[in-house]
Amino acid sequence: MSSTAAKTISAKSNDSLSIQSPNLEQSLTFYGLSKFDLSWGGVVRGIEKESLRVSPAGVLSQTPHPTALGSTLTNPYITTDFSESLLEFITPAYDRIEDCLGMLEGIHRFSLKNLDNQEMLWVSSMPCALGGEDEIPVALFGTSNVGKLKTLYRDGLSNRYGKVMQTIAGIHYNFSMPESFWPHYQAHCGNTDPLQDFRSDQYLHLIRNFHRYSWLLVYLFGASPAACKSFVRGREHSLQELDENSLYLPYATCLRMGNLGYKSEAQKSLFVCYNELNTYVECLDKAMHTPYPEYEKIGPGPNGEPRQINSNLLQLENEFYSTIRPKRNTKPGQRPLAALIEGGIEYVEVRALDLNPFLPLGIDAEQVRFLDTFLVHCLLAPSTECHKAEFFEVADNLTRVVEQGRDPDLVLNDAGKPRNMHAWGLELLASLSHAAKLLDSIDDGDNLYAQALESQIAKLHDPSLTPSGRMLKMMQEEGLSFFGLALQLSQQQRDKLLDGSNLSAEDEAMFTQAALDSLQRQAEIEAEPQPDFGTFLAEWNAS
Residue-number span of the structural domain to which 81 is assigned:
44-193+223-329+344-355+481-542
Counting the structural domains of the chain, the total is 1
What is the chain's mean pLDDT, rounded? 93
pLDDT band at 11 (very low <50, low <70, confident <90, very high): very low
Tens-digit pLDDT profile for residues 313-353 = 999 999 998 999 999 999 888 899 999 999 999 999 999 99
C-beta separation of 482 from 248 below 8 A: yes
Q: 15 falls in which pLDDT band (50, 70, 90)?
A: very low
Asked whether the beta carbons of 73 and 406 are under 8 A apart, the reply is no
Q: How does residue 14 score in pLDDT terms, banded at 50, 70 and 90?
A: very low
63-87 average pLDDT score: 98
Question: What is the per-residue pLDDT for 124?
Answer: 98
Residue 231 in this model has a pLDDT that exceeds 80: yes
Is residue 296's pLDDT more than 90? yes
Backbone angles phi, psi at 311, to 5 degrees: -105, 25
In a domain, 272, yes or no: yes
500 pLDDT band, cuts 50/70/90, is low
Report residue 7's pLDDT band, with 50, 70 and 90 as the boundaries.
Answer: very low
Q: Is the dihedral of CA 175, 179, 183, 184 positive or negative?
A: negative
Higher pLDDT, 2 or 485: 485
**18 pLDDT exceeds 70?**
no
Query: Which CATH number goes with the domain that contains 139?
Result: 3.30.590.20
Q: What is the Cα–Cα distance from 532 to 538, expressed in whole angstroms?
A: 10
In a domain, 456, yes or no: no
Looking at residue 13, its pLDDT comes to 34
The lowest-confidence range among 143-152, 232-241, 297-306, 402-411 is: 232-241
| Predicted structure pTM score | 0.95
CA distance 268 to 322: 11
116 falls in which pLDDT band (50, 70, 90)?
very high
pLDDT at 267: 76
Q: Would you say residue 413 lies in a domain?
A: no
- List the alpha helices (DSSP H) in 297-346: 336-343
* pLDDT band for position 499 (cuts 50, 70, 90): confident
**3-state SS assignment for residue 273:** coil
State percent of the chain over pLDDT 90: 86
SS (H, E, C) 59-99: CECCCCCCHHHCCCCCCCCEEECCECCEEEEECCCECCHHH
> What is the rounded CA–CA span in Å between residue 145 and residue 73?
11
Q: Establish if 411 belongs to a structural domain.
A: no
- Stretch 390-410: mean pLDDT, rounded? 95
Confidence tier at 268 by pLDDT (50, 70, 90):
confident
Is residue 531 domain-resident? yes
Look at 96 and 15; give whichever has higher pLDDT. 96
Is residue 293 included in any domain, yes or no? yes
Would you state the pLDDT for residue 446? 84
251 inside domain: yes
Query: Within a domain: residue 32?
Result: no
Q: Is the pLDDT of residue 8 over 50?
A: no
pLDDT-based confidence at 9, cuts 50/70/90? very low
Tell whether the model's pLDDT for residue 259 goes beyond 90.
Answer: no
Q: What is the pLDDT of residue 543?
A: 83
- Give the lowest-confidence range in 268-272, 406-410, 423-427, 433-437: 268-272
Q: Choose between 196 and 20: higher pLDDT.
A: 196
Rounded CA separation 288/399 (Å):
26
Range 185-195 burial, b when 16+ CB lie within 10 A, else e: bbeeeeeeeee
Q: Is the model's pLDDT at 10 over the cut of 70?
A: no
